[in-house]
Structure 1
Amino acid sequence: MRIAKTFIFGAAAAAVAVGFTAAPAAAAPTASTVVTFDIGAGTLDIVAPASADLGTGSPGGTIDAALGPVTVTDGRASADASWIASVTSTNFVTGTGTPSEVILASEVDYWSGPATATTGNGTFTPGQPTAADAAPLDNAVALTAFTHVGGTGNNSATWDPTLVVNVPLDSEAGTYTGTVTHSVA
């Protein structure tokens, strides 16, 4: 008979243990999640036409034509989104480059004109707002083409600069080639 008592006692202990583990969990009325994300910083870029044909002129005259749109895109997402765009030029050469086959960069005037489009905040200022403000290009000293001061985040500006070639009286006939370089910092 002893065997039966042990069995009954063991079954009663198991029933008591089950009663203690069956209590429900308390409900959570709120749950918080820490969320993070990044805003990536891009680059400061400038794009200008790959080539431009200004047309034809005569010795002692001028050739006046638009270069084509120049665009600065500032994707740096900066607290101070200021930048300065500048322009330089090589001399313009034809033939073998004798003195009468060279038009110096300083004999070519540049004027940016007003912005044709802008995005973002801050102040956009053309280097030479009107034709009366045209300034000679140089191959050693950069001319300010356009500026952006202040503002935050991203911005962009586009302008369509004009070049005025003051053709020297002693220039020879030919197709003159040079390079106008815009940069931004």
Structure 2
Amino acid sequence: MGSSVALFAAGAAIPASAAPTDDTATTFAVLAGTLDIDAAATADLGTGAPGADITGSLGAVTVSDTRAAADASWETSVASTDFTTGGATAPETVLASEVDYWSGAATATTGTGTFTPAQATAGAAVPLSVTVPITAFTHTGGTGNDTATWAPTLIVNLPLDSQAGTYTGTVTHSVA
């Protein structure tokens, strides 16, 4: 019986030695999105008499930068049509250049970099233009994604010869 024990031990497999470490090549992708701007669809600035100023907010403007870029810089600009009333047969106009714009400070931001209003205070307000957009807000530096929201104000400098009516125009914000 002693010899069978020896044979059994001699026929048993010896376990292989395990490697102490092993590597797994691992990948993932960061998706690049877009650079977008969103502004209120409508704004009612209020009322005023000829020769007076009407001051009102355009509502929130938000830039969302989801480009996941190494340099997440962007700049927004704003332009306007003239403001008209009276219809096609007898239009009355308040020129875009008689309406001042000021961005004010950001109401919210996310991400890295520097967020800068072009007109931080009412004293820095600048006239709108039909042909030459003005800078509204900028973001410099930073990486990855970011957002900025501000609530710009318009100051309508009503001319003394303004006629009664509801004036309508379009203020357009762009980002690049």
Q: Which residue of 1 aligns with 2:164?
A: 173
**What SS does the corresponding residue of 2:97 show, helix, strand or coil?**
helix
Residues 1:117 and 2:108 are matched in the alignment = yes
Q: Which residue of 1 aligns with 2:35?
A: 44
Q: Counterpart of 1:162 in structure 2: which amino acid?
A: T
Give the paired residue count.
167
Deviations 1:151-175 (A, max 9, x none): 1111111111000011111111111
Alignment of 1:156-167 (within 5 A): 156-167=147-158
Cα distance in 2 between the residues matched to 1:143 and 1:99: 30
Deviations 1:125-153 (A, max 9, x none): 10101000000000110110000111111
Distance 1:99 1:144, change over 3 A: farther
Cα distance in 2 between the residues matched to 1:86 and 1:175: 26
Distance 1:165 1:98, change over 3 A: farther
Shift in Å, 1:91:
0.5
Q: Which residue of 2 aligns with 1:92?
A: 83
Shift in Å, 1:40:
0.6
Is residue 100–residue 171 contact of structure 1 (8 Å, CA) maintained in 2?
no
Residues 1:103 and 2:94 are matched in the alignment = yes
Shift in Å, 1:121:
1.1
Is residue 119–residue 155 contact of structure 1 (8 Å, CA) maintained in 2?
yes
Cα distance in 1 between the residues matched to 2:170 and 2:18: 74
TM-score normalised per structure 1: 0.84
Q: Which residue of 2 aligns with 1:129?
A: 120
Q: Counterpart of 2:170 in structure 1: which amino acid?
A: T
Q: Which residue of 1 aligns with 2:143?
A: 152
TM-score normalised per structure 2: 0.88
Residues 1:33 and 2:24 are matched in the alignment = yes
Distance 1:98 1:61, change over 3 A: farther
State the percentage of identical aligned residues.
67
Unaligned runs of 5+ in 1: 1-18
Deviations 1:18-59 (A, max 9, x none): x99x67544333221100000111111111000011111111
Is residue 48–residue 182 contact of structure 1 (8 Å, CA) maintained in 2?
yes
Deviations 1:68-109 (A, max 9, x none): 111111111111110001100001011135787101110100
